[in-house]
Amino acid sequence: MSDVKKVVLAYSGGLDTSIILKWLQTTYGCEVVPFTADLGQGEELEPARKKAELLGCKEIFVEDLREEFVRDFVFPMFRANALYEGIYLLGTSIARPLIAKRQIEIARQTGADAVCHGATGKGNDQVRFELSYYALDPNIKVIAPWREWSFKSRSDLIDFAEKHQIPVPKDKRGEAPFSVDANLLHSSSEGKVLEDPWSEPPEYVFQRTVSPEDAPDLATTVEIGFERGDAVSIDGQRLSPAELLTKLNEMGKANGIGRLDMVENRFVGMKSRGIYETPGGTILHAAHRAIESITLDRGAAHLKDELMPRYAELIYYGFWFSPEREMLQALIDKSQEHVEGVVRLKLYKGNVIVTGRQSDKSLYSETLVTFEDDAGAYDQKDAQGFIKLNALRLRTLASRNRRSGA
């Protein structure tokens, strides 16, 4: 890797990636192109540009990718109702392929021959970044500092920063109580005080939601409109994808919605405990399932549910740009052609309660399900033959077992 000439670094502007930037310059003697993506993490990003300039970078990219993130990554995933291990809405996982995609695009634009990320060698993110890099450019060189450098402790990193005149804020000198990753879909917290899965997380860990106990005593009612499986409006007002998710985040935060305490199975083989907050996504997930309940045929709905764990696993493992994910996406998107209408929900102390759903494409028939006179729409006597045919194999098995004394 000594022949690296220019590298595109996924750069947050924080202490760790600033150290990585300087380490790349001193270790590889290469030009570094920092790339900072605004995915809705809620931080001011222009300071990252200024810090990169102070570190001698000439080409610097700071980009607002919030709309692309929600439109092209979050919404396609939500069409699938994707949940990893049944509960995790994949907020960190879905952000990595977009960052990696832009790194590769910037590398082509600037003539860089390598890309670099700041993920550690113990986590999932290193896999997600690098699988995406190689899927988009099979010949790209990848630098993963946490797997290469000789630093053994936080104090080693601080010493390196001070030696190279990288400012170290006072709150960064000690060990952080836990690590945080955030974007418009969620925030995740893990490590340190959260590592014991028996210990309840302290309230200061939560950043995106009020405690359900402190949420208002009066429910918030909201109506979400859908077209082709994507949310397009809130209470009749059309919004862009990022605007809509931002609004749902605000509603979810105020009502204590979207907290998750999870022990998950990482792709690299270990279990980890994470605290996730996905306020708007939790509301959106419930609403999408509700509109599907009246617009999707049973066979299509059940097939989607069977495929969902595989789809979610592909995203969690980092295979967003794999052919199998794209194949599943085509099937999922086909299923969403008539998923449109409005869902009404109540948000109350951590709960998302569906109270109504309607659609011009609804398959729900009051005539068929009514206990009153259905004017001949359904002949209940037909059920006898239906049941007997479905029971035929069971009766055959029972007869055999009786003969054999089983």
- Give me the CATH number covering residue 292: 3.90.1260.10
Among 175, 201, 217, identify where a domain stops.
175
- Same domain for 209 and 347? yes
Domain membership of residue 323 (yes or no) is no
Specify the number of domains making up the chain: 2
Using the 3D structure, point to which of 116, 142, 175 is the last residue of a domain.
Answer: 175
Residue 81 lies in a domain: no
> Does 12 share its domain with 137?
yes
Q: Which of 96, 208, 273, 357 is catalytic?
A: 96
CATH no. for residue 130? 3.40.50.620
45 and 158 both lie in a single domain: yes
Same domain, 199 and 345: yes
* Pairwise CA distance, residues 1 & 116, whole Å: 12
Domain assignment present for 397: no
Residues 41 and 167 in one domain: yes
pLDDT in tens, the chain (406 residues): 568 999 999 999 988 999 999 999 999 999 999 999 999 998 889 899 999 999 999 999 999 999 999 999 999 999 999 999 999 999 999 999 999 999 999 999 999 999 999 999 999 999 999 999 999 999 999 999 999 999 988 889 999 999 998 988 766 666 677 889 999 999 999 999 999 999 999 999 999 999 999 999 999 999 999 999 999 999 999 999 999 999 999 999 999 999 999 999 999 999 999 999 999 999 999 999 999 999 999 999 999 999 999 999 999 999 999 999 999 999 999 999 999 999 999 999 999 999 999 999 999 988 888 777 767 778 899 999 999 999 999 999 999 999 988 6
Instruction: Judge if 11 and 121 occupy the same domain.
Output: yes
Is residue 315 situated within a structural domain? no
Decide if 96 is catalytic.
yes
Give the integer Cα–Cα distance in Å for 50 and 215. Answer: 39
Separation in Å, CA 394 to CA 387, 397, 405: 11, 5, 16
User: Do residue 168 and residue 244 come from a single domain?
Assistant: no
Q: Which domain holds residue 234?
A: 180-296+338-358
Do residues 215 and 350 share a domain?
yes
Same domain, 22 and 135: yes
pTM of the model: 0.94
Angle at 375 between CA 374 and CA 381, to 5 degrees: 70
In angstroms, the Cα distances linking 228 to 34, 61, 64, 79, 288 are 37, 34, 26, 9, 11
Check whether residue 198 and residue 291 sit in a common domain. Answer: yes
Residue 1's pLDDT is 53
In contact, 44 and 50? CB cutoff 8 Å: no
* Residue 165 counted as domain residue: yes
Out of 12, 18, 102, 125, which one is annotated catalytic?
Answer: 125
H/E stretch holding 334 reads helix 323-335
Assigned domain for 152 exists: yes
pLDDT score recorded for residue 171: 64
Contact call for residues 11 and 17 (beta carbons, < 8 A): yes
Q: What is the pLDDT of residue 321?
A: 98
Q: Are residues 132 and 255 in the same domain?
A: no
The residue among 121, 151, 175 that closes a domain is 175
**Phi, psi dihedral angles at 37 (to 5 degrees):** -105, 130
Q: Is 179 designated active site?
A: yes
* Catalytic annotation present for 261: no
Closest CA to 15 of 183, 204, 167: 167
H-run or E-run covering 182: strand 179-182
Beta strand 61-64 with 31-38 is parallel
Q: Do residues 273 and 198 share a domain? A: yes
Task: Give burial (CB, 10 Å; 0-12/13-18/19+) of 118.
Answer: buried
Q: Of the listed 179, 233, 322, 362, which one is catalytic?
A: 179
